[in-house]
Structure 1
């Protein structure tokens, strides 16, 4: 690394040193004190923009030519994070003729450090950094180690229950699922074979001995008055056997739904509700003979989909075993097929077997709590601004072995998460170095905001880490100037970078414009501060935000998101811009004033962003417990969703019977739809499923 010029040489050429365009070409980041001396003799240098740029840039050799930058382009308007994917711009080379060490060496030590962080965090030893795993604990230790190395202070002085560290903010993850510790079933004193019975995740721990009852499909209010229960039915003191699904046709498909599709009446949650309301002592769920519906593993369903914890043992039993039990309990010794025929009939009601036909159901479950941690370190400010704050954050978790948030065919494989989001975590760690050095160089008489560096956990299952921080902040929220979020910054292509949140503060875009122009990047500047990443929770709390994002790609949430695929040369450009903006906000005396990025019609910018011919009118989010579905975080007035009665807080489950596994799937459905199409959307509201019909309206064109 080249050293800076002396104080004498800087003072001899003050006007050149102040030009932002010259600052972007320099290499040494630690000579801020020279600039502070310089502004004493030349008032033209006193702008916060010039100070921030020079603080991070340092000084070039005396005879260096000004950097020749490609003409930047700034495009202001809504950007879809689901479709923003710039074209690849790299030139293929002969690998035998290229030295990777030389390339990294030419990029410099900061790019090398960033690259090494990404390689480490995306190593298979970290198990895809899923909350609850040993791998994410390794990642947390790694991040804390580097925060300590940079001389940061612990961020959570009163948050630790370990007594040994205050670097962590522990919180309970809503997606934690109860686990079966033990399960047993006896009938007439004989044990049912292990492996033939499994607990539902909503099951209570318990040991119940009681006579059996058969309740058909467990439906209380079905089509054409169908009900398996008599008025005032009380199942207290009975272990109930119940079929999954709803009355079937001969081919095993639904007898109630159009084209054999299953209706909301088939919901397992509704069966459990009905049986709980009637005081069942235990519940055994069985697949009916010749069932032709979706063969999902009921024991794997998240507790949220089952309506939460139940007060009785709840299990799934192999159909053959269940048939034998029913036949033995039944005085007429009917087969399972015969019981299905009874349940399919219009007048199917509960059958209570003799008191002597008893079963013993034993279940033991853990409490399902899954704890994870944010990691935070403080770079203490100076002078009159020290009590004000900047947050620089990145989520460090990923999807582990792909058991959620990933394609089903890849489950069981490690998802390394190099770009998502080892890249952003590495960027945050690099900024701890760069900004710490800049702060140290500025001396004790400087005025600088304090910076909180935060590594969030559990972003992938609903932005839980940032939500936990906003609920229990370790710094005064009213002293927070802005939050910078780095998420997926490792695949810069065609020099295009999305920067979200440019409309989240008064005059923010125009204040940012000089930085964007000096970056040599094409900036897709989105006014909205919302989106499926951690900045959204800060924005929702009324805090200005910026979100840096280099786009989706073919390896997103797949095992192929490996360390070698990221581009350190691109990350260097992104982090150079991030660092300069952070220094500007560290130095600038005037606080940013939050502004909600809204359109003239009152809708939030960035909602339903014009990349489909039709518009639903919802702000999509992620479910808090990691279950399948699209959470509705907002509904725009006068849209298709509003007309259909969709409300904030609803979770959209399916579109014309097709599962809405994610917001991306919903966007694909919208792109394939036409104006005037009628869509059946199944949703969950306040714990109950229902279906609404949505008539799709035209989408708005891009601004």
Structure 2
């Protein structure tokens, strides 16, 4: 191993990956991009996939080292316990709208109390309730109905091809034969004859009009989802990509403009097949998870009563979920959309429109919109639905007609739905001259639950434990609370310090709802709040790189971070902006200086694979030590941080996940490929040592940091378009990046 040292960092670099580096570089500046000095970039720890980890250096301390070691071990043990609780399957991914969020909130309340914090914050409770919208929901069955008659005879569920034992002989069944859609009016009635209007499209540019030759004024129109020639590249509507004519709001707006009283949408075959495939994939994933848990249960000794009980409960929950999925498969086969399947907001709503011919102004009303099953649509047609679809797709000509003696009567009643979810707030009272000022330290403790909302694992319904996002920040919050309480209340505590408020936020994953609520309804005045520290995803320290956002939100923050880091020895990346998609942004918008600690996005972000076993526990310990030191200084320094305005445009930093197979040298105003790793992507693409980087894609590259920012945006398997200068010639290479 060779050790590279600069003024504030120490790293160990695996010589198996960089065998050409045989020197120790000493520098008086932070970072590796030194102007006018050629150096081999440790950043190609990324490009060469070499392992770079923080050097195991101890910081001298005047206190008894054995006592410090014992305290540190106890703190680490407790942090691990907190992490294991927060990432347990019992919490079902800590969705802010699931009842399990209260189990997590109760745990945090007890932990805050154990640490000696004041928890009687809102009356006798540390819980601040936040209303969270969970989208529209249907009101009573009596208010949401569809009655159809053909030649005067009522159509019922038993008239359809079904094996459903619950099918009604008296009429059609809500959420089996039809579902009101939130994209239509929230409250409405309609009664009229039914007209088939094909895809419900008017497209003069394609000489296509489903409304030509039929009068739909005051009628209920029945139409297909999407547009002619779905998946057919020869279609005038493209076929490969949806045009605007395929959008629900376009179809509904067109129907309203033609005078329709209501819309019934029938799912197209390709969408139905996709829905079936999605549900089946989710079911298969749950079956695999069930089998693994059953195997774990069988492997446990009978004496492990608690563990066997816990796994038995998980098995029961998965089996119940599988039963529910059977119903989802049946619904997918029928092609029935869920209430929010076409959108969550009414379209077009009550809007003023102008008749282009007469200039007359009228109001475009919102009308009822329903999804109906393909079986029901077939029952109403005089010929098979698939036959009509095939004829439209064969020559791109409409096939619209009035349905033979089909009459509809329907009602829609939809209401917005909300649930209450808790912020957990506790505080350490201030002392002396600073007692009336407040420092807030926070982390969100909610995640995306089973993945129905916010998951980046498509079509996956599974527990998303969110170990890094944000069990890591929540556990760090508890540890910082403990360390800071000891420092500010111990025998050598300062006579003057600010009130420190610790907040575990809910609703972050749904738009920073918990932090926004606190800023609007603070327990202690926002005007006396001097700063906010946020911890979100601090559990995956990699390459010793810690990103700190908000360094420019107060002039004192950058030197504070540098000073504290002299002991903690991170490779710090500072980002001046106080904005971003985490809870600190809510406070910064209220003109409060902020700091946000972050270890970077990664491939497990918002996926079920973000689990406890992937956390860097030693890295978390070091990060919390740094945050504790920063917090202590902000709590005790007499001068209040001065708010400064920063740029709102901020990109969240990703961890490096790809290998390119080069080392880099920073030259004046340019980056040079110093060496090419044998059998790496760069060598296979034809790059040579000495090539000078010109640009990646359209982005000009003059520094190693710019180069690395481009690599961070890529994933394994992506193609990197790299232009280099070789001699007097510019060459462009298409490099397939590998997983790091």
TM over 0.5: yes
Q: What is the SS of the residue equivalent to 2:524?
A: coil
C-alpha displacement at 1:561, in angstroms? 2.5
Whether the 8 Å contact between 1:126 and 1:135 is mirrored in structure 2 is yes
Instruction: Pick from 487, 490, 497 the counterpart of residue 438 of structure 1.
Output: 487
Aligned counterpart, 1:219: 201
Whether the 8 Å contact between 2:94 and 2:448 is mirrored in structure 1 is yes
The question of 1:299 aligning with 2:299 is answered no
State how far apart, in whole Å, the 2-side matches of 1:138 and 1:86 are: 42
Structure 2 segments unaligned to the other structure (5+ residues): 1-7, 9-25, 34-42, 56-68, 158-166, 168-172, 279-331, 350-365, 659-696, 699-710, 724-740
Aligned counterpart, 2:107: 142
Instruction: Return closer, same or farther for 1:218/1:335 CA change in 2, 3 Å cut-off.
Output: closer
C-alpha displacement at 1:208, in angstroms? 4.7
* Greater shift in the superposed pair: 429-438 or 186-195: 186-195
Instruction: Return closer, same or farther for 1:305/1:665 CA change in 2, 3 Å cut-off.
Output: farther
State how far apart, in whole Å, the 1-side matches of 2:650 and 2:339 are: 36
The question of 1:419 aligning with 2:468 is answered yes
* Greater shift in the superposed pair: 176-185 or 133-142: 176-185
Whether the 8 Å contact between 1:256 and 1:263 is mirrored in structure 2 is no
Aligned counterpart, 2:372: 317
Q: What is the SS of the residue equivalent to 1:509?
A: helix
State how far apart, in whole Å, the 2-side matches of 1:199 and 1:308 are: 12
State how far apart, in whole Å, the 2-side matches of 1:569 and 1:434 are: 17
* Greater shift in the superposed pair: 578-587 or 286-295: 286-295
Aligned counterpart, 1:244: 225
* Greater shift in the superposed pair: 219-228 or 123-132: 219-228
Instruction: Return closer, same or farther for 1:669/1:196 CA change in 2, 3 Å cut-off.
Output: farther
1:480-518 CA deviation, whole Å, 9 max, x = no partner?
221111111223334332222212212421232110111
1:36-85 CA deviation, whole Å, 9 max, x = no partner?
xxxxxxxxxxxxxxxxxxxxxxxxxxxxxxxxxx99995499xx9xx999
Aligned counterpart, 1:274: 254
Q: What is the SS of the residue equivalent to 1:543?
A: coil
Instruction: Provide TM-score, normalisation by structure 1.
Output: 0.64
Aligned counterpart, 1:256: 236
Instruction: Return closer, same or farther for 1:258/1:496 CA change in 2, 3 Å cut-off.
Output: same
Q: What is the SS of the residue equivalent to 1:367?
A: strand
1:610-668 CA deviation, whole Å, 9 max, x = no partner?
999xxxxxxxxxxxxxxxxxxxxxxxxxxx99xxxxxxxxxxxxxxxxxxxxxx99976
Q: What is the SS of the residue equivalent to 2:381?
A: helix
The question of 1:169 aligning with 2:129 is answered yes
Equivalent runs, 1:44-63 vs 2, <5 Å: none
Equivalent runs, 1:92-491 vs 2, <5 Å: 107-154=72-119, 157=122, 165=125, 167-173=127-133, 176-178=135-137, 182=141, 185-188=146-149, 189-192=154-157, 194=173, 195-202=176-183, 204=186, 208-220=190-202, 223-224=205-206, 226-229=208-211, 235-236=217-218, 238-248=219-229, 255-258=235-238, 260-276=240-256, 280-288=260-268, 299-300=337-338, 302=340, 305=343, 307-308=345-346, 312-327=367-382, 337-338=387-388, 341=391, 348=398, 351-353=401-403, 356-361=405-410, 365=414, 367-408=416-457, 411-441=460-490, 446-491=495-540
State how far apart, in whole Å, the 2-side matches of 1:177 and 1:345 are: 40
Instruction: Provide TM-score, normalisation by structure 2.
Output: 0.61
The question of 1:561 aligning with 2:610 is answered yes
The RMSD of aligned alpha carbons is 4.6
Q: What is the SS of the residue equivalent to 1:455?
A: strand
C-alpha displacement at 1:207, in angstroms? 6.2
C-alpha displacement at 1:396, in angstroms? 0.5
Aligned counterpart, 1:46: none
State how far apart, in whole Å, the 2-side matches of 1:244 and 1:359 are: 20
Q: What is the SS of the residue equivalent to 2:504?
A: strand
Instruction: Return closer, same or farther for 1:487/1:610 CA change in 2, 3 Å cut-off.
Output: closer
C-alpha displacement at 1:554, in angstroms? 4.2
Whether the 8 Å contact between 1:515 and 1:580 is mirrored in structure 2 is yes
State how far apart, in whole Å, the 2-side matches of 1:73 and 1:463 are: 37
Instruction: Return closer, same or farther for 1:352/1:489 CA change in 2, 3 Å cut-off.
Output: same
Whether the 8 Å contact between 2:580 and 2:650 is mirrored in structure 1 is no
Q: What is the SS of the residue equivalent to 2:93?
A: helix
State how far apart, in whole Å, the 2-side matches of 1:145 and 1:76 are: 45
Instruction: Return closer, same or farther for 1:222/1:401 CA change in 2, 3 Å cut-off.
Output: farther
State how far apart, in whole Å, the 2-side matches of 1:139 and 1:491 are: 22
Aligned counterpart, 1:37: none
Q: What is the SS of the residue equivalent to 1:482?
A: strand
Instruction: Return closer, same or farther for 1:248/1:181 CA change in 2, 3 Å cut-off.
Output: farther
The question of 1:539 aligning with 2:588 is answered yes
C-alpha displacement at 1:424, in angstroms? 0.7
How many pairs does the alignment contain?
528
Q: What is the SS of the residue equivalent to 2:509?
A: coil
C-alpha displacement at 1:181, in angstroms? 6.5
Instruction: Return closer, same or farther for 1:344/1:314 CA change in 2, 3 Å cut-off.
Output: farther
Instruction: Return closer, same or farther for 1:206/1:669 CA change in 2, 3 Å cut-off.
Output: farther
State how far apart, in whole Å, the 2-side matches of 1:213 and 1:164 are: 61
Instruction: Return closer, same or farther for 1:137/1:501 CA change in 2, 3 Å cut-off.
Output: same
Aligned counterpart, 1:525: 574
1:163-190 CA deviation, whole Å, 9 max, x = no partner?
86452131223x5353586565443212
